[in-house]
Amino acid sequence: MPYVRTRLGRFFYDERGASRHAGDPAIVLLHGLLFDGGMWRGQIESLSALGRVVAIDGPGHGKSEPPPRFMMEEHADALLDALGDLDIPRALIVGLSWGGMVAMRLALQHPAKVAGLALLDTSAQKQTLAERIRYRAFVALHRRVGIPYGLYLKEVAPLMFAPRTLLERPDLVETTYRRAMGFDREGVSRASLAVVVHRTSVLEKIDRIRCPTLVMCGRQDLATPPEHSENIARAIPGSRLVMLDDVGHMSTLEDADAVNQHLVPFARSITSS
């Protein structure tokens, strides 16, 4: 299986398409917490028609190895390791939630590697104290025994999916739950602590980002509410903000066509420039 070596262990990746011209930026896809590269299945075909696409499983998720304890800034450095191993000199980084958080840090720490950013349903801010306490309890429970499906439906799924999705697509909700529960629990716990408990704010820094940026958010996103995307769009010079109706946190799965309507033309403008 295809793996790259990083300071946080080996990351699994799925590669599609090919660059049309030497020097074209690759498109790198970074998923959200409790998901893996499969959450881009509604986008990868359209994007791979534009050039080289690499979907990377984050540490402790999908087929990637469980990481040591880490902070988000270390994850950005590990992503740099992965890009080097994949011989990607520059990339459009497309990240949802956790993926967007890593993408912004990569752009701050290694700006020469980033040709553009697409930031979906994400946040540049840290969690509130109440949220950190609540999430730490969930992480501890999951590490010991996992999350029962009933608790997932009550506490986690409403953060991930819009009410319409919960009502009309229970199969999607159940499938994503079962997939997440198959990940290594210790690896997921360490990633979750980095993302939702120990994450610091970069909102005060992202005005230094100078690459083209698309910011997108579901209007019914409860995990990273729209105001978080609005704050990002205000802070990053020249960025464009798109809000999606009837969509929650997992926009790529809930309404792939709506996401692609904006993401694909943006990606085309980056990869063909």
pLDDT at 272: 83
- CA-closest candidate to residue 199, choices 218, 231, 177, 224: 224
pLDDT at 273: 66
For the chain, domain boundaries: 3-128+189-271
What's domain 3-128+189-271's architecture? 3-Layer(aba) Sandwich (3.40)
pLDDT at 22: 83
pLDDT at 101: 98
pLDDT at 224: 97
Eight-class DSSP state of 223: S
Rounded to two decimals, the pTM is 0.97
pLDDT at 20: 86
Chain-centroid distance of CA 259 in Å reads 14
Eight-class DSSP state of 260: H
Q: Which two tokens stand for residue 204?
A: 């005060």
Instruction: Report in angstroms the alpha-carbon separations of 205 from 119, 124, 209, 247.
Output: 16, 9, 8, 29
Chain-centroid distance of CA 88 in Å reads 19
Q: Which two tokens stand for residue 199?
A: 């994450």
Eight-class DSSP state of 199: P
pLDDT at 78: 98
Provide long-range contacts, Cβ within 8 A and 24+ apart, for 144-151.
146/181, 146/185, 147/181, 149/174, 149/177
Residues 6+ apart with CB under 8 A from 181: 146, 147
Local confidence pLDDT in tens for the 273 residues of the chain: 799 999 999 999 999 999 888 889 999 999 999 999 999 999 999 999 999 999 999 999 999 999 999 999 999 999 999 999 999 999 999 999 999 999 999 999 999 999 999 999 999 999 999 999 999 998 999 899 889 999 999 999 999 999 999 999 999 999 999 999 999 999 999 999 999 999 999 999 999 999 999 999 999 999 999 999 999 999 999 999 999 999 999 999 999 999 999 999 999 999 986
Tell me how far apart the terminal alpha carbons of the chain are, to the nearest angstrom.
32
The secondary structure of the chain in percent helix, strand, coil, rounded to multiples of 5, reads 50, 15, 35
SS (H, E, C) 73-139: HHHHHHHHHHHHHCCCCCEEEEEECHHHHHHHHHHHHCHHHEEEEEEECCCCCCCCHHHHHHHHHHH
Residue type, 208: R
pLDDT at 212: 98
